[in-house]
Amino acid sequence: MIQDLKRIIEQVSRDKGIEREVLITTLEEAMRSAARKRFGHDLDLEVAYNEEFGEIEAFQFKEVVAEVTDSLLEISLDEGRELDPDCEIGDSLGIKLDTDTFGRIAAQSAKQVIIQKMKDAEREMIYEDYKDRTGEIINGIVQRLDRGGITVNLGRAEAVVPYREQVPRETYRRGDRIRALVLEVNRESRGPQIILSRTHPDFLSNLFTSEVPEIAEGIVTIMAAVREPGSRAKIAVTSKDPDIDPVGACVGMKGSRVQSVVQELRGEKIDIIEYNPDPAKYVVNALAPAVISKVVIDQSNRLMEVIVPDDQLSLAIGKRGQNVRLASKLAEWRIDVKSESKYQKSLKEGYESLLALPGIGDATADNLYEAGFASAEELASAQIEELVTLPGLSQQKAVKFIEAAESFEVDRKEKEAVAKEKEAVAKEKEAVAKEKEAVAKEEEAAAKEEKAKAEEEEAKAEEEETKAKEEEAAAKKEEAAAEEETAKAKEKKTKAKEKKTKAKAKKAKAKKAKAKEEKASEGEAAGDA
């Protein structure tokens, strides 16, 4: 059937990377399918690869019986002894089939099975190759671009960079080289789907790992990384060796290491900060380069109030809140940035709210303030057990102060709600007024446009009228010139007639004179005779 099948199996296994056993199993299955196509599905069939001869052998098994009722499954004793002289009734004989007789259709079926199995084996092999590579950076070539993403050729496999995993403003053309993170590998019917990402924070971490030997060796550790792809990123690092500066190691000589990462990320700004187990110090580092004056921690709500000098406020917040947003993600704390002036104002307002409570004087307010109850709001949420520990505060006074603070906060919130409602109404009125103003402006603009249009049409009409008058004057001028020319022609004609008449008269006179002269000459001649 197939010449030198062993060599072909070895070659295909080597070229396609498919295990030899998988190929042999596939060929056996294909041969079994072809045999059933040729001889039917009822026969007892066994197909096996003969390693010695390098061929696929097919055997049909029949039971030796005294009387044959089913020729596909049974054989007579006489026929059986022709194949095996020692056979007896009840024995099962294996009859080798001639695979060359399977026919064209059966061979085509075998081919299809082989192709399909090879495809399946190749897909499975690709999946096994890439399933454990999640989180690795991989190189590929852009094969095609469409609305669904970028298709990348990885050599033996294809991958996709979906639109959501692409960095904004990055553009690629067919044939460009691309580096990306293997985000996930999914097993699907049409083959493994490899999803790549250029926006994931791990892509940034892995780039630093490849550029910084200290990270690869485990001396420097990346604790966290956050990104706003294409714009800015923050990465927190720490060192196991006190002699090695983790930030300096990542920056490199004259910024060579970090610049390599920045180039790969097409200019994305990267802040490298030192990790600190103290949350407050960590947040201070994360908000760099802004200078921090004070940090107030609310552990229960996992909130940090960061106080900065007034001139540092915009730097701490960053463009469109980017700096504080990334710092919050990096430290995993909610961060509220305030200027010193605003913070002092809030402290003053909080202290004054304590003094506004009945029964609280300056001394009690100072004690409460120093104990951490900086406002009536904080006092309202305090526990009696916390207050009775303060000097001069009995349980009765503590209860009284808490109730007074609660009542104060209820009134304050009601006033705030009323003020917000009034503000909302005022804003609504302002919006209505602005809308009316806009409508009026629009109408005014429309009227001006109509007026301008009318003036333009009027000017156009005047221009046309002037032109018509000019054309009329020119026509009259031409008419007068034509009349003058006609008069001159008539005068010329009249003169020509007069001249002609004179010429005729002159000619007649000359003729008459000549006749008279001839008559006189004739008279003289007659006298002489």
Give the CATH number, domain containing residue 58. 3.30.1480.10
pTM exceeds 0.75? no
**Whether residue 395 sits in one domain with residue 342:** no
**Whether residue 402 sits in one domain with residue 319:** no
pLDDT for position 17: 63
**Whether residue 78 sits in one domain with residue 160:** no
In a domain, 349, yes or no: yes
**Cβ contacts of 228 within 8 Å, gap of 6 or more:** 322, 325, 326
Residue 150, token pair as written in the block:
């970028």
**Whether residue 188 sits in one domain with residue 118:** no
Tens of pLDDT, residue by residue, the chain (529 residues): 444 567 777 776 776 666 777 777 777 777 777 777 777 676 777 777 777 777 777 777 877 888 877 777 778 877 777 777 878 888 877 777 776 666 565 556 656 766 776 777 778 788 888 888 888 999 999 999 987 789 999 887 888 999 899 998 888 899 999 999 999 888 877 777 889 999 999 999 999 999 999 999 999 999 999 999 999 999 999 999 989 999 999 999 989 999 999 999 989 999 999 999 999 999 999 998 888 988 888 887 888 889 889 888 888 998 889 999 999 999 999 998 988 888 777 767 776 676 777 777 777 776 676 666 767 777 777 777 777 777 767 777 777 777 777 777 787 778 778 888 888 888 888 888 888 888 888 888 888 888 888 888 888 888 888 888 888 888 888 888 888 888 888 888 888 788 888 888 888 888 888 878 777 777 666 655 5
Q: Which of 304, 295, 293 is nearest to 333 (CA)?
A: 304
In a domain, 182, yes or no: yes
In a domain, 450, yes or no: no
Find out whether 112 and 118 touch, Cβ atoms under 8 Å: no
Q: Which helix (H) or strand (E) holds 224?
A: strand 220-228
Domain stops at, among 176, 197, 218:
197
pLDDT for position 501: 83
What is the rounded distance in angstroms from the CA atom of residue 345 to the CA atom of residue 356?
16
Q: Are strands 55-65 and 44-50 parallel, antiparallel or unpaired?
A: antiparallel
In a domain, 388, yes or no: yes
pLDDT for position 5: 65
pLDDT for position 177: 93
CATH number, domain of 312, equals: 3.30.300.20
DSSP letters along 285-323, please?
A: HHTTTS---EEEEETTTTEEEEEE-GGGHHHHH-GGGHH
CATH number, domain of 398, equals: 1.10.150.20
Residue ranges making up the domain that contains 162: 134-197
pLDDT for position 524: 66
Domain stops at, among 355, 373, 400:
355
Residue 208, token pair as written in the block:
């630093």
The number of folded domains in the chain is: 4
In a domain, 488, yes or no: no
In a domain, 351, yes or no: yes
If you ran DSSP here, which 8-state letter would residue 69 be given?
Answer: S
What's at 405, amino acid-wise?
Answer: A
In a domain, 283, yes or no: yes
In a domain, 472, yes or no: no
Domain stops at, among 109, 128, 147:
128
- Alpha carbon distance, N-terminus to C-terminus of the chain: 161
**Whether residue 32 sits in one domain with residue 121:** yes
